[in-house]
Amino acid sequence: MDSREIVTRAIEFRHPPRLPFFQHQVAGVPDDVCDCWEMDRAERGWFFDRAAEDDWGCGWAATEQKNMGQVVHHPLESWDHLDRLRPPDPRNPFYYDRLEPTLATAGTRYRIVTCHFNLIERLHMLRGFTRTLEDFYLEPEKIDRVLDLILEFRLQQFDELHRRFGDRIDGLFLTDDWGTQNGTFIGPALFERFFLDRYRRLAAAIHGHGWHFFLHSCGRVNEFVPYFIGFGADVLNLQQPQAYGITEIGQRFGGKVCFLTTADIQSTLPAGKPDQVRAEVRELVEHWATPAGGFIVFNYGDPESLAIPPAMTEVMFQAFVELMHTGA
């Protein structure tokens, strides 16, 4: 059975022969996923390449700690600019021409395209985080207008992606961070008012193209996980097991959605204690994996930005390899 089938079976709870691995770093460990980020590369300049203004007009600056940087200029700092806001062209060949070389290397691996900054993330990048939270109450109609622009851009982009690549893609990996260490930024009522139906439309489009829907969301998002499952996310990329509570997540959601996960990127891996990493790996497989599937091993991929000792990545993957047949 090839890697693509193993990943697909894990997502769909169809009894994969082992745990699949989403990693491109450690030799001797399965590497089952071909991940392409190139659709996110901005024509004006990409946030990972250099400080720049992206194609939505958000101004990026590098941070002292090596990472993607952060938005420091918000095009909608004043609502006076709303009528001038123009999304990028979702069918711009620039976003798609770069995918071909990566997809050509996929072989028999599962093929995924990553799409950063979707509804909440792009919204607060455009407006500013504090102003966004305030305007859910003060300017809801304007928030709706911006979210509709973002949503329509993504839907058209997915259509173009499918037109060009069709079933050469297996899944889309969307990011939207929704939590602090203690809970979500907003409560259920606001999520339902502004986001639930829009996520349903994203999910319907992704599934309509025949792809799986991966959703990344950092923070303690436990109370939103029922929404994520309900609107159609097939895979949840949760990277902070200690923040969620491994047992709690397993008891509430194990077997209901596939988890794409790693040992905790903020506490366990940076601590640099091999026995602690191995213990957490065992706990994750015990509580989040099922004999039918529902678990994919993940690699954050940038240990330097998180101050993770490089050896811990290999420790973690070797621990998962030892358990890869017991968790599936």
What 3-state class would DSSP assign to 47?
Answer: coil
Domain region containing 178: 3-40+82-323
pTM, rounded to two decimals: 0.96
* Per-residue confidence (pLDDT) for residue 42, from 0 to 100: 87
Instruction: Tell me if 50 is assigned to some domain.
Output: no
* Per-residue confidence (pLDDT) for residue 64, from 0 to 100: 73
Instruction: Tell me if 73 is assigned to some domain.
Output: no
Mean pLDDT within 168-192? 97
Q: How confident is the model at residue 328 (pLDDT cuts 50, 70, 90)?
A: low
Instruction: Tell me if 67 is assigned to some domain.
Output: no
Instruction: Tell me if 72 is assigned to some domain.
Output: no
* Per-residue confidence (pLDDT) for residue 41, from 0 to 100: 87
- The predicted-structure confidence for 105-157, as pLDDT tens digits, reads as follows 999 999 999 999 999 999 999 999 999 999 999 999 999 999 999 999 999 99
Q: What percent of the chain has pLDDT over 70?
A: 97
What's the mean per-residue pLDDT of the chain?
94
Instruction: Tell me if 109 is assigned to some domain.
Output: yes
Instruction: Tell me if 88 is assigned to some domain.
Output: yes
* Per-residue confidence (pLDDT) for residue 236, from 0 to 100: 98
Instruction: Tell me if 75 is assigned to some domain.
Output: no
**Of 50 and 292, the one with more pLDDT:** 292
CATH for 114: 3.20.20.210
What 3-state class would DSSP assign to 251?
Answer: helix
- The predicted-structure confidence for 47-76, as pLDDT tens digits, reads as follows 666 668 899 999 998 777 667 778 999 999
238 neighbors 259 (Cβ within 8 angstroms): yes
51 neighbors 61 (Cβ within 8 angstroms): yes
Buried b (16+ CB within 10 A) or exposed e, 241-253: bebbebeebbeeb
* Per-residue confidence (pLDDT) for residue 47, from 0 to 100: 61
DSSP 218: -
**C-alpha to C-alpha distance for 280 and 282, rounded to whole angstroms:** 5
Question: Which tokens sit at 20?
Answer: 């699949």
Question: Which tokens sit at 47?
Answer: 């946030």
Q: Count up the domains in the chain and report the number.
A: 1
* Per-residue confidence (pLDDT) for residue 48, from 0 to 100: 62
